[in-house]
Structure 1
């Protein structure tokens, strides 16, 4: 991060604090000076230097990575990258006995830390709201950027209300973390009639958001599955009527991304319910520079595998037990 980015839009006293923290961090990490030497050079006390270093770490100005050649998940990451043609695979170590809720929290923390290495200025970031992305947002570390838009990828309105505090909070908090512009998508999660969707998609205000989605540099999402131990909001929040569930079963659906459903083989274009969804064409996930899927839980194996077959993911962040099952249950391509 540059000092100008860190200072953008901040009061003078806060800007000075950030600039001092960056200076101290560079001396400590780049030049490997001791806190005593830094204090002497800058005319500060050692305690002040320590506080500035803590401030730099706590506010995302410093990112610490550990590269352990003995780390066992590294072999699994290489296998997943090769088998599924991924740009990056990150396997998160978790205690197997802790349960899937704890796994999700560990994976979300890892994803939150990773995002600060890829989110930068002059970007568009697409978010598919849901329980996993919400867990990530709760663990983000602030990082200042300029000229960043955070656009919601799918609507969240229901038959009772067009507004949804859960999805709105995710978009607003994520944007605030990066000093970005939030771009909510105030439409229903599912339309009652395909014709209604087609008509609304012609409106200029909606077209602007759709065009922004098309330009996304980062797509952040998880995968929904009806059988998941930690059910997604779409599947547990009353969005789907009994007849919708019957339709999905008839179409052989394995999972969804941003309320767009797909089958075991990754096909999705002729699934009936997709004609009424507000989510984007899944081809959009294939072209994003960072198509980041964050997922956890053994019950999502079929949905993960299907999404990988559809090539909707180029970066995968996953817990170790689920990654092992995925690798063991997916035959190598011939």
Structure 2
């Protein structure tokens, strides 16, 4: 068991947390004082210390002890090779704002590896915010490949464009799948997958060194139905078969088992495979709890970047 932090360590933790709330959460010092149960004057001093001691600039540079403990617990409980936990923002605030800078820092660490890597990517709002937190880097040695088609059935492109935005940030070659996420039929899917340029991307995706993905719930308010990738009838069919979540479009049940057939048989893309590749999921928030719990149970991911509230729920 880790030693209990001393008073100075606790003070530094508190300063880091106050700085995170002020600069990332956009909270006033009065609000921070109420959240932390301290005076406004102390909140002001803590925020000032966070900057003066270099604990936070655009990013948090001090690992809060409570987050480190949760990271250790997640790795031990679920056999994860990587766990990163961001400080929780107050209730009602978007948790993606908290996890995006932490995830961006982790991706930057991976990309600064001296070896040339092939990185596969999912898509979605969370990953887009993560990429928007990335600094501009000169890393043309890497290759980026999409795990999934990036268009709706009517041909409209997704607004997220994660792979192209990241490629622009780091100057890397990228291989998007210029296809609908779901084909109209299995025959159409087979035709799409046989196209020469698609085969090139698929080969890279299957042989990638690491994957970064989000996770989605399966419901009538899920992003994949709102964004036009799947229709209500297909969602009803997935729910009837016990689906609770999806990773790059592939639906899975409460035991973390991918469903066979149905809409899964028409996905233009590659399933994120943990058999030989680290698959890091970036997700937080109440609507992700059920999907995350199932993905961890079924070992569909090998790494998790989340926030304190989500980590506590998963460990409870």
TM over 0.5: yes
Q: Deviations over 1:235-270 (max 9, x none)?
A: 321222121011111111010010111111111141
Match of 1:185 among 171, 174, 177: 177
Give the conservation status (yes or no) of the 8 Å contact 2:274–2:301. Answer: yes
Matched with 2:168 is 176
Match of 1:236 among 226, 247, 257: 226
Matched with 1:320 is 308
Aligned residues: 258
Match of 1:66 among 31, 54, 62: 62
In 1, the alpha carbon distance for the partners of 2:109 and 2:60 equals 10
1:192 shift after superposition: 1.0
Where structure 2 has 5 or more consecutive residues not aligned to the other structure, the ranges are 1-56
**What does residue range 207-222 of structure 1 map to in structure 2 within 5 Å?**
207-222=199-214
Match of 1:201 among 180, 193, 204: 193
The runs of 4+ residues in structure 1 deviating greater than 6 Å are none
Match of 2:105 among 103, 106, 113: 113
Give the conservation status (yes or no) of the 8 Å contact 2:256–2:296. Answer: yes
Closer, same or farther: CA 209–270 of 1 in aligned 2, 3 Å:
same
Matched with 1:138 is 132
Give the conservation status (yes or no) of the 8 Å contact 1:92–1:320. Answer: yes
In 2, the alpha carbon distance for the partners of 1:286 and 1:318 equals 22
Tell whether 2:67 aligns with 1:77. Answer: no
TM-score by length of 1: 0.72
1:307 shift after superposition: 0.9
Q: Deviations over 1:281-309 (max 9, x none)?
A: 34x24421x32111010221110011112
Give the conservation status (yes or no) of the 8 Å contact 2:248–2:271. Answer: no
Matched with 2:8 is none
1:153 shift after superposition: 0.9
Closer, same or farther: CA 67–240 of 1 in aligned 2, 3 Å:
closer
Give the conservation status (yes or no) of the 8 Å contact 1:157–1:187. Answer: yes
Match of 1:124 among 110, 118, 121: 118
Q: Secondary structure at the match of 2:178?
A: coil
Give the conservation status (yes or no) of the 8 Å contact 1:131–1:232. Answer: no
Give the conservation status (yes or no) of the 8 Å contact 1:260–1:279. Answer: no
Tell whether 2:290 aligns with 1:302. Answer: yes
Task: Give the structure with higher Rg (CA).
Answer: 1
Give the conservation status (yes or no) of the 8 Å contact 2:140–2:173. Answer: no
Where structure 1 has 5 or more consecutive residues not aligned to the other structure, the ranges are 1-56, 329-334
Tell whether 2:254 aligns with 1:261. Answer: no
In 2, the alpha carbon distance for the partners of 1:188 and 1:165 equals 10
Tell whether 2:289 aligns with 1:293. Answer: no
Give the conservation status (yes or no) of the 8 Å contact 1:219–1:285. Answer: no
Matched with 1:25 is none
Matched with 2:238 is 248
Matched with 2:23 is none
In 2, the alpha carbon distance for the partners of 1:67 and 1:139 equals 18
In 2, the alpha carbon distance for the partners of 1:232 and 1:250 equals 16
